[in-house]
Structure 1
């Protein structure tokens, strides 16, 4: 767990406990709150009280930062300010933030040919000098993209999947590391389970002590 070094040290642990208890704390919040702590420590290490100027400076829109990126970066700080305000621990007001922008990005729909070529490229990655790290990388890429394709898992959900969260007997995934705290189960098609069983066999030979 990160050791808070700035003037947040006295209130951060209780805030994080509160956010965890209300199931609103997540990995992104943690990273951004740590960044806020580092900013306060580096720029205001001799201060003991959080001020409006400190919060406004951190939450202001940065050059090349979109409105949505700013909202995502500062959301945990806004939540922290509300936490302090409701307990009478600060007079600092929430800074003005930009309005959310409507996403205009159009996702790319892969054709059958593109998918075939993509998975072919994964399957034919060259293992460098028979190095274990190179072989492990190839095994992971061959499986993880197929798993996302056939189940609809988010990249983080697939990447953070632990061994003990995969039931290869019944073909069920226990998705714990997900967006927010929406733990759920995902059934996997038998054809994918067969691939995953072979992956498990090979990985047990190469990295038997692995967690993921």
Structure 2
């Protein structure tokens, strides 16, 4: 069990909880971010508390400045898991009241226009280095293009190791992703060339790095907060006033990838229902329904047209898994 990662009075309980989750087959990275948030919150606001009290829960459950309701609910869900574990282990703790966690609000991903994409990546390409991230200008153009061109989840890019990137064949190995599934996906030739040039430059600066996108000599992945900060910096540097009520998120590149692929197949005259199983495998979805969701993000007339082909969607042959 790793030590000294947490600083609050709950450090031992959190470590024990993470160890338990790993022992029953879950990956630590699925829980580590929220546990670090809760640990820092307790260290700052309740440094002497050794029991999760009603006061701690009330303060933790408050909606923060510029925080979405869904993010607040995710924080509560993470804490509920810890509290349930502590209670099952016979430790004294406050029980989260029923009804505190409500159903998450549905959301509609941000779909970029072609001009918005051009402006975003122009902003990424011209992003200067930063005192605390002096290699940021090298990582950002490649990392966010990989998101968009391969439809990766944010955490998949952050935890991509150098050994997972086969630049000779243009293959990415995505290990232990959502649902604890591994998969191999192909890059386009343009992306492979971009990654090869990035590797040529960054390997001279950080020759022994572990992660493909790494900001220093210290072998640890970028944090989700850092990735989000860099994404926001690109948005600002792009000068684009993005349409819609909500600003884009890193995760929206994944949604845009899926819709672009479906549109491309449609232009090529391919049967969408025949092709969706391949998109499911590429994106690592657990079900075909999760992939078909992207049809409903299309313009209404397009979605209705595609939906006529929905019946009888086949499974991908086992030899192509």
State TM-score, norm by structure 1: 0.73
Q: Does structure 2 retain, via aligned residues, the 8 Å contact 1:122–1:141? A: yes
Matched residue count? 203
Q: Does structure 2 retain, via aligned residues, the 8 Å contact 1:32–1:74? A: no
Larger deviation: 192-201 or 18-27? 18-27
Measured in 2, the distance between the counterparts of 1:138 and 1:45 equals 38
Match of 1:74 in 2: 76
Does 2:107 match 1:108?
A: no
Describe the shift of the 1:12–1:118 C-alpha distance in structure 2 as closer, same or farther (beyond 3 A). Answer: closer
Unaligned runs of 5+ in 2: 213-321
The 5-angstrom pairing of residues 36-75 of structure 1 reads: 36-48=38-50, 50=51, 52-62=53-63, 66-75=68-77
The 5-angstrom pairing of residues 186-205 of structure 1 reads: 186-205=185-204
Q: Deviations over 1:131-158 (max 9, x none)?
A: xx87x54443332233222211133422
Q: Deviations over 1:111-141 (max 9, x none)?
A: 2x44345445555x3878xxxx87x544433
Q: Among residues 14, 21, 24, which one is paired with 1:22 in the alignment?
A: 24
Unaligned runs of 5+ in 1: none
RMSD in angstroms over aligned alpha carbons?
3.4
Describe the shift of the 1:100–1:116 C-alpha distance in structure 2 as closer, same or farther (beyond 3 A). Answer: same
Task: Give, in angstroms, the shift of residue 52 of structure 1.
Answer: 4.1
The 5-angstrom pairing of residues 1-212 of structure 1 reads: 1-6=4-9, 8-27=10-29, 29-48=31-50, 50=51, 52-62=53-63, 66-90=68-92, 92-96=94-98, 97-111=100-114, 113-120=115-122, 122-123=124-125, 125=126, 136-176=135-175, 178-179=177-178, 181-211=180-210, 212=212
Measured in 2, the distance between the counterparts of 1:157 and 1:43 equals 32
Describe the shift of the 1:137–1:12 C-alpha distance in structure 2 as closer, same or farther (beyond 3 A). Answer: closer
